[in-house]
Chain A
Amino acid sequence: MNFDFSDEQKQMRDEARKFLSEQCPPKAVREVLDGKAPYDKSLWKGLAEMGFLGVAIPEQFGGAGAGHLELCVIAEEMGRALAPVPFSSTVYLAAEAILIAGSDAQKQKWLPKIASGDAIGTLALFEGKGNPSPKAVKVTANGGVLNGVKKPVADGAIADFAVVAARTGSSGRESDISLFIVDLKGAGVEVKPLTNIDLTRGQAEITFKDAKAEPLGAAGEGWSVITQVLDRAAVLTAFEQVGGADRALEMGRDYALDRIAFGRPIGSFQAVKHMLADMYVSATLARSNCYYGAWALSTNAGELPEAAAAARISATQAFQHCAKNNIQVHGGMGFTWEFDCHMYYRRANAVALGLGSLSYWEDALIDRMRKKNAA
C-alpha cells in the first residue's frame, strides 16, 4: 500500500510553500483584505510562471500535464497561505468544467489562457439562497442568449468568462439544465461586486440581458457536468481547507508556547492544550479523508462521489474548528484586526459555503453511502 503522495509530489508541495511564503506573506493578503486591490495580480502572474495554474491541464492545451495529485498539493498550500487570487474559481471550477465537457475548440481557446494566467474563469451557478439544485436555476437560455441573475458568483467581478448553468427546458427534470460559456466583458452582462465575510476573495452579482452564450457540452447534460465539477472541486477545496486548518493550528500552538499568563506559558494549561489537541485531531481526520479523495479524483474512481463528500465535510469541519479555536487560544489579541486569526476565520466560514453548505454535503454523503450499500 502506498497511500501517500510521491516524493516528486511532495517536492512540488515544498516548492509551492516556498514560493507562497515569499510571494504571498500575510502582508500581501492584507492588501486585498484592506480593499487596495481586488486580487493579487503579481501573485497570479507568478503562479502562472511557476506552472501551478495549468498543473492539471494537459500539455496539448498549454498546461503542465502533471495531474490532479499535483493539483491537490498545490491547493493545500494555496489554502495555507490564504492566497488572495481566483485560483479555485478558475482552476477547480471553470477549467474542470471545460476539461469535462468542452469541445476541442473550446479547450484550445480557454485552457492555454488559464494556464498562462491570461484568463480568469468562474462558475455561475447560484441564484440567491440555497444549495446546488437544478430547480434553483432560473436563468434562461434561448436562441443563444442568456437572461437572468446569478448571485453569488465567486470572483465574478474579476473574471473574464464564466461557465453558466441555465435553463433550457421546463420538464422539471435535471435535463432542463445546460451549460454555457459567457464572455463577461461582452454586451448584455452587468457585474456588480458584493460584500462578503471573506475579504480576500470577492463575490459578485451577474445580470445577463440577452448576453451571448456558447453551449458547453450537450444540451440537457448540464447538471450531470455540474455534479462532476462539484465533486472534483470538493476534493481540491478540501485540500485548501486542510492547509488553512493546519496553519490555524500552528498559529494557535505557537501563540500558546509564547504567551505567558499566571507565570507560565498558556500552552501548559490543560484547558488550552486539550483545545489544541482536539484541533490536531480534526485536522488529521480531514487530511486522511482528503488523501482518499485525492486518490479517487486522480484515478477517476467510482468511489469519487462518496470520497469527495467525505473529504469536503471533514475538511469544512476541521477548518472551521481550527480557525475558531485559534482565535480562542489567542484571547483578546485574536479578536484584533492586526492579528491574522480573523483572516483564517473569515476564509474558513466562507469557503464552507461556496460549493454548497455542510448540510448539503452531509445529505449527499448519506445518499451516496446508501447507494453503495444497496449495490
Chain B
Amino acid sequence: MNFDDTPQEAEFRAVARKWIAANAPKEFEEELSKSSLGRIRLAKHNMVEVGKAWQKKKAEGGWACLHWPKEYGGRGATPIERVIWQQEEGVYGKLTQPFQIGEGMCGPTVMAWGSEEAKRRYLPKLAAGEEIWCQLFSEPSAGSDVAGLRTRAEKKGDNWVINGQKIWTSGAHYSDYGLLIARTDPNVPKHKGLTMFFLDMKSRGVEVRPIKQANGMQEFNEVYFTDVVIPDSQRLGAVGEGWSVSLTTLMNERMSIGARLATGVPEMFEFCSNLMLEDGLAIDDPAVRSKLASWAVKASGLKYTSYRAISALSKGERPGPENSIGKLVSGLMLQDIATYAMDLEGAAGSLTGTDEEQANGQFQQMLLSSPSMRIAGGTDEILRNIVAERVLGLPGDIRVDKDVPYNKIPTKGR
C-alpha cells in the first residue's frame, strides 16, 4: 500500500508538470485558487474567453481531452494518465468548466454513435474548445423522469422539425452545438419513442433564455424550439433508439473520477478556528468539534474513496462502484455546513456579502446555492436508487407507465 506513482506514471507526471509550468496562464492562478466553492468567476476577464485560450493551447500541446483517440483531438492517454493530468492541471482545471459538458457527455456520445465523418468534423473542434457543446435533455415536466420528455421531432423529408422546450441547460448561451433528445413517436411507451440529435445552436427558431435561480444568480437557461430544422444526418443512433443513446451520455456523467467536489470542510474548519463566541473560539466548543469531526471524516472518506478508484485505474482495472457516492455525500454536507456556520453567528448569520463580517457571506452563499447540488446531475433520491439497484442489486422501481403509450400517460396529479 503506497501513494507513489509507478515509474511510467512518474514520467508522465513530470512531462505534464513541465508543460504546465511553461504554458499555464499564471496571471489567473491566484484568482482561481481563491474560488473554492460554487461557480468560477474572474473579476476582469470573461471566463469563457480565458477558458477557450487555455483549452486551445492544451489542444496544440496534445493535452486536451487526453483520453480520446488522437484522430479525434485527444492524446490516446490511459485513464490513470487522465487522472494525473487533472491533478497536475490543478487550479487551471477550473478554466475548463465551459467544456466539461462537451468533453464529459456530448463528445463521448458522438464518439459512440456518430458517423466517422461527424466524428472527424466535430470532435477535434470540441476538444480544442473552438466549439462549445451543451446538453438538451431536461424539460420542465421531465427532470428525474427524463424519458417523459415532450419536445417533439417530426420527420419532414430529409429533415426533422423540432418544437418544444428544454430547461437547466448550462452554457446554452455560449454554446455552438447542442445534444438534443426528442420524442419522435408519442404512440409507443415513453422509452421507445425517443431519438437523439445534435444541432447548431444558432439555427433559426432556437431561443435561449436565462433562468433566474432561487439563489438570485443566472447560470442555467431555458431553450425554446420553434419549428427548428435538423437534417437527418445529425441524428445519433436509430429512430426510436434515443434512450439507449442517452444512457451513453449519462453513464459518462457519473464516471468522472478524481473530480473536484467541494465539501465545504476546509472552509468550515477555518471559520470555526477564527470565530469568537461568548465563551471562546468556536472550535473549542465540544458541540462544534463533534460536528466538525463528523464532516471531516466524510470529506476524508470521499478523498480516500477516490484514491481507491485511482489505484484501480493505475492497475488497469475498472474502478468499483464506490465512486458513485461523491455527490450524494458532498451536496447534503455543503447544505448542512452552511446552515450550521450561520447558526453559530446568531442573528448576524442572516447577513450576506460583505455585511456578514466573519467570512464575507461565504456560507450564506453556500446555503442559497447548495439545494442545486442535491438536484443537478441526478437528485439525491435518484442517486440512492442507483446505488441500491446497481451496487446492492435491489429490484428496480415498479414503473406504472412502463407499457403505456406515451400519449396515454396522465400529465396531472389532480
Residues of A bordering B, CB below 8 Å? 1-6, 69, 249, 253, 256-257, 264-265, 267-268, 270, 273-274, 276-278, 280-281, 284-286, 288-289, 291-292, 294-295, 298, 309-310, 313-314, 317, 359, 361-363, 365-366, 369-370, 373
Contacts and interface: CB of A to CB of B under 8 A. Distances in A.
B297 A310 contact: yes
Given A281-B387, A285-B301, A288-B322, 12 more contacts: A3-B307, A6-B1, A273-B384, A273-B392, A273-B394, A278-B384, A280-B391, A284-B322, A284-B325, A285-B325, A288-B301, A295-B3
Contacts, number: 161
A373 B283 CA distance: 13
Contacts of A2: 1-2, 4, 311, 314-315
Contacts of B257: none
Contacts of A274: 381, 384-385, 388
Given A2-B4, A270-B385, A366-B292, A257 B394 contact: yes
B329 A285 contact: yes
A10 to B, nearest CB: 12
A3 B4 CA distance: 9
B294 A317 contact: yes
Contacts of B67: none
A199 to B, nearest CB: 29
SS class of chain A's interface: helix, strand, loop or mixed? helix
Contacts of B391: 277, 280
Interface in B115-130: none
A233 to B, nearest CB: 18
Interface residues of B, number: 50
Contacts of B389: 273
A309 B290 CA distance: 12
A270 B397 contact: yes
Interface of B: 1-5, 9, 269, 273, 283, 286, 289-290, 292-294, 296-298, 300-305, 307-308, 310-312, 314-315, 322, 325, 328-329, 381, 383-385, 387-389, 391-398
B292 A281 contact: no
29 contacts: A1-B9, A2-B4, A3-B2, A3-B310, A3-B311, A4-B308, A69-B1, A253-B392, A253-B393, A265-B395, A268-B396, A268-B397, A274-B384, A274-B385, A276-B392, A280-B391, A281-B328, A281-B329, A285-B325, A286-B301, A288-B322, A289-B301, A289-B304, A295-B1, A310-B301, A362-B293, A369-B296, A373-B269, A373-B273
A366 B397 contact: no
A314 B301 contact: yes
B289 A366 contact: yes
B310 A1 contact: yes
A313 B297 contact: yes
A292 B305 CA distance: 10
Nearest to A72: B1
Contacts of A264: 395, 398
